[in-house]
A and B are shown apart, each in its own frame.
Chain A
Amino acid sequence: MLHFSKAKQIAIWLVILLGLLFALPNFLTENIRGSEDVEGVIPVFLPSKTVNLGLDLQGGSYLLFEVDTDSVRANKLESTQEEARQLLRSDKPIIPARGFRISGNTVSFKLSRPNQMELALERLEPLNDVSQNQLLSGNSDKPFVIQSDAVTGNISLTLTEQALTKQTKDAVARSVEVIRNRITELGTKDPTILRQGDSRIIVEVPGESDPVRIKRIIEKTAQMSFHLVDSSVSIQEALAGRIPPGAKLVTTTNPAEPDLLIRRRALVDGADLTDAQQSFNQGGQPAVSFSFNSRGSIRFGNATAENVNRRFSILLDNESITAPVIRSPILGGSGIIDGGFTVEAANDLAILLRAGALPAKLETLNERSVGPGLGQDSIRAGSIALMIGFVAVMIYMVLAYGLFGVFANAALISNLVLILGALSGLQATLTLPGIAGVILTIGMAVDANVLIFERIREEITVGRTPLNAVETGFLKARSTILDANITTLIAAVLLLLFGAGPVQGFGVTLAIGIFTSVFTAFLFSRMLTSYWLMRAKPKTLSL
């Protein structure tokens, strides 16, 4: 147990050296160590990352959102209803249908002429376009169960649970992208946007301790679309309830015209938008200019060409913000939204449009925010507690074991360095409970050495020679040390698996601490002990 081959010795020293190198940046200023923004003084191949502080230590906000499944369902069914209506009229002969209704997961309607059932079902097939569905979800289940009654002409389209789950997942994935874009626009550094489970999104914004500001920008659902204004009936008639099929009433931001009747089908929607910027209109009023991708340009160009002198409305979150008359076809793929904005409102709208639309409503489930000052205080208090605890343990070890206590302390110091190095190198997050984990580890780390030293004492009492006693002590303590540490590791791993938020950080440091303390106590301090034995060749051991 006391013989170390050259290779082994080098390996042990190398690990300690690596730990030092990785821990070092934490004690250097940004100008020396270098970072993404600053070129450092030390060579670039050396590690430059510092410990990744959790939000509770550096200040910032944590928000947990959940995508509202009901709004996903409602959106999907509404668009299905519209699509079905379009499909039935997509070709000649037009198939008239009425009584469109959404209830639960089902869209239902009635054909005016039940004998068109076969044709109608054929036309509705694209709704269950398996190939498209397969590409997205990887299974061949059709999203809708279609039930029909050829006698009454009733058709019902029921969205399956699987399809709904898939819709929700898509909505979450898209929301993550949208939120990322919007948070990036905020200009805060290193935000984290993560998807959690099927319907949740975690947003962490370091340095922004005001969650209200984050929510303000995230929670807006900017769904923009362009619709033709329906002028087949007067607005009074529409308000009285006579709404033509395929049309709907929306509110507007224009006090002179509070309600507007528009075609449900969008000419173009926000998905085809490529850019939006705050600008000014010809009158010098703040406005938002936008441009489309090629598909959007063609659609918008065609639609405006076919409808010259009719009005179209720009709908933002179901509210018409402007409804100009098309004077001439808009073919260039760009235009301007002029809604009587302030500069700020125009700017915010441009950001929202650029970032894209949130596909569904988000609900905040959990919110944690910490101011920057508090984090600093916590770090200071934690460091003091760590240092005092560290020194107390070291003093005690020397008092209890003399020279061997010094070996144990060398292991303890290298242990702390390795923990810091591992945290920096792995870029694991250090949280406030994580600091508690480090302090606890310091207290528990000497256990391995204590086990060994107590064994050595016993062996000396039995009358073994120093070398022999030390050798046997290390050997006999080995399996106990392993058993004891594996049990603690089990606890740490369960914390990592089931712990939430900052507590996971505790699991991280505890787990790292177990590995480093076994390494330092069992290999490093044993090596130091063997160096001393070889050199001093003591006749008796005082332990």
Chain B
Amino acid sequence: MALAFVRLVPNETSIGFVRLRKFGFAFSVLAIIGSIAAFFALGINLGIDFKGGGNIEVRTEQPADLTRIGTIVRGLGLGEVEVREFGSPTEVLIRFERQEATDLSQNEERLQQQAARKVHVALYTSYSGIEMIFDGDQSVIISAPIALGLDKGTEALSVFGLEDLTLSQGDDINALQLQLPVVVQDRKSGPELQQQLYDQVSYKLLETYSTLSSQRTEIVGPKVSGELVRSGVTAVLGALFCMLIYIWLRFEWQFSVGAVIALVHDILLTIGMFSLSRIEFNLASIAAILTIVGYSMNDTVVVYDRIREKMRKYKKMPFEDLIDLAINKTLSRTSITSLTTLLALVSLYFLGGEALRGFAATMIWGVIVGTYSSIFIAAPILLLLNVDRSEMGDNEAG
């Protein structure tokens, strides 16, 4: 085979990474300071998973009018609301923040659900053009600028389990009439219960006739969001701790300290990225950070393995040269694996759909940072940690 293989780096390199460590350290320290500064100055764009609130994804038949949707939703008094296109011109994501209780009688968990409901009702009302008049008891008049199909409404109500409501053609051609039964089976009775039934029925009808449909709804109450923050932090710290222990068992303590410093470096820089890019920080972001930790560790271990091997082989070689040798020997592998991982991630970023784009972007950043830190932080930092070279040969047999 006379094929010339594609090489990212030449077979034999002898780059003086260790000599460059001062620049690497300086760069990293600056980047970390920048990240921390950005975090405190700008914060991060916390998603509803960690802050509470709701995400509502809707789809419209025509390309969505973001201004119209924004005006409708902002008019509901739900505090800060984000409205943006999500993946395609007909998909819109609406995010409202956690609704805070203004007095003790309010249940915050329920407030989030009510807010989501308000958004849905307002959008359905606008996108169906329907007006409903409820007499407070049994009769509802439904009118719209265009004729409403009677069958469509009847079917929707029956699917919902409300089949014995009577929906009929109204006086006007564009109007429908609805007769509610008197409901008796609840501790509440009378007007309150009729109102509740009306709310359910009208919601269903508005939804049915609306040209805008809800694709996804996520509501996170304050209790769950608090717990998700705690479990996310626990997972990341737990991972760091387990890595520390594992590397300590497999290598020397200096290696495990070096590796964990590199990981903390990666995590801080990733947080800085979140802060500057305004990518939403959600549950998937925790998954991304943990994967970055795993990936970066993977890279570091490969370099460390080689350092250990060379330490056994060349007991007299200056430690700087030895580290350089190990990095250069693994450089080709490091770059190829980074490239294939990036290939998969770039594909995910562009083709995997809007919901995974933030995750893919985070991972792309993480692979770059993780690769950099293995070479410029994890390996050279061993020089500062007084690795005991005399014991190295006897520690590991494999």
Contact = CB atoms under 8 A, between A and B. Distances in A.
B348 A439 contact: yes
A112 B219 CA distance: 54
Contact of A402 (B3, B298, B309): B3
A494 B59 CA distance: 36
Contacts of B347: 385-386, 388-389, 392, 439
Nearest to B304: A483
Interface string B186-197: 110100000000
Interface in B220-272: 220-221, 223-224, 228, 231-232, 234-236, 238-239, 242-243, 246-247, 250
B218 interface: yes
A336 interface: no
Contacts of A344: 161-165, 181
B235 A499 contact: yes
A444 to B, nearest CB: 5
Contact of A487 (B238, B246, B330): B246
A190 B162 CA distance: 23
B344 A393 contact: yes
Contacts of A490: 239, 242-243, 246, 294, 297
A56 to B, nearest CB: 8
A213 B160 contact: yes
Given A402-B5, A480-B305, A487-B301, A500 B353 contact: no
B183 to A, nearest CB: 6
A397 B343 CA distance: 12
A403 interface: yes
Nearest to B398: A479
Interface stretch (A27-35, A230-238, A295-303, A317-325): A317-325
B213 interface: yes
Interface stretch (A12-20, A38-46, A131-139, A502-510): A502-510
B13 interface: no
A200 to B, nearest CB: 10
Given A321-B184, A371-B213, A439-B344, A503 B351 contact: no
Interface stretch (A92-100, A157-165, A446-454): A446-454
Interface string B165-205: 10000000000000001111111010000000000100100
A306 interface: no
Interface stretch (B33-41, B355-363, B377-385): B355-363
B107 interface: yes
Nearest to B284: A433
Interface in A287-322: 316-319, 321
B109 interface: yes
A381 B354 CA distance: 9
Given A345-B185, A461-B11, A494-B290, A365 B221 contact: yes
A382 B113 CA distance: 30
B356 A435 contact: yes
Given A400-B336, A494-B290, A442 B344 contact: yes
Nearest to A66: B223
Interface string A425-439: 000000011011001
Given A367-B218, A371-B213, A400-B6, A385 B187 contact: no
Interface in A204-221: 210-213, 216-217, 220
Contacts of B306: 480
A261 to B, nearest CB: 17
Interface residues of B, number: 99
B287 A433 contact: yes
Contact of B333 (A321, A370, A451, A542): A451
Contacts of B283: 499-503
A319 B189 contact: yes
A363 B298 CA distance: 43
A503 B287 contact: yes
Contacts of B342: 443
Interface string B2-16: 110111000110000
A340 B287 contact: no
Contacts of B160: 210, 213
Nearest to B219: A367
Interface stretch (A72-80, A262-270, A372-380, A524-532): A372-380
A507 B330 CA distance: 28
Contacts, number: 290
B231 A345 contact: no
Contacts of B232: 498
Nearest to B116: A367
Given A479-B398, A483-B305, A491-B294, A506 B287 contact: yes
A443 B343 contact: yes
Nearest to B231: A498
Of listed B214, B238, B347, B398, residue having the most chain A CB within 10 A: B347
A328 B53 CA distance: 57
B215 interface: yes
Nearest to B345: A443
A210 B342 CA distance: 38
Interface string B111-132: 0010010000000000000000
A515 interface: no
A400 B216 contact: no
Contacts of B223: 66, 365
A541 B186 CA distance: 81
B203 A212 contact: yes
Contacts of A396: 6, 339-340, 343
Contact of A317 (B12, B187, B363): B187
B291 interface: yes
Of listed A316, A393, A447, residue having the most chain B CB within 10 A: A447
Contacts of B218: 367-369
Contacts of B350: 385
Contacts of A369: 216-218
Interface string A251-278: 1010000000000000000000000000
A151 interface: no
A344 B201 CA distance: 14
B348 A484 contact: no
Contacts of B182: 340, 342
A497 B237 CA distance: 13
Of listed A210, A349, A389, A432, residue having the most chain B CB within 10 A: A389
A343 interface: yes
A492 interface: yes
A341 interface: yes
B31 interface: no
Nearest to A63: B219
A348 B242 CA distance: 53
A197 to B, nearest CB: 10
A234 to B, nearest CB: 23
Contacts of A341: 184-185
A499 B224 CA distance: 13
B184 A491 contact: no
Contact of A339 (B184, B286, B301): B184
A400 B231 contact: no
Nearest to A217: B161
B235 A495 contact: yes
A401 interface: yes
B295 interface: yes
B135 to A, nearest CB: 18
Contacts of A487: 243, 246-247, 294, 297-298, 301
The 9 closest A-B pairs by CB, nearest first: A443-B344, A491-B294, A381-B353, A389-B347, A498-B235, A443-B341, A385-B352, A488-B294, A389-B344
24 contacts: A213-B161, A220-B186, A251-B187, A253-B189, A339-B184, A341-B184, A345-B185, A373-B215, A385-B350, A386-B347, A389-B347, A432-B355, A433-B287, A433-B356, A436-B360, A440-B341, A454-B333, A476-B309, A487-B298, A488-B295, A488-B297, A488-B298, A494-B242, A495-B235
Given A253-B189, A487-B246, 18 more contacts: A319-B189, A364-B109, A374-B216, A385-B356, A389-B346, A390-B344, A401-B5, A403-B1, A436-B360, A458-B329, A487-B294, A487-B297, A489-B294, A491-B294, A494-B235, A494-B290, A503-B283, A542-B2
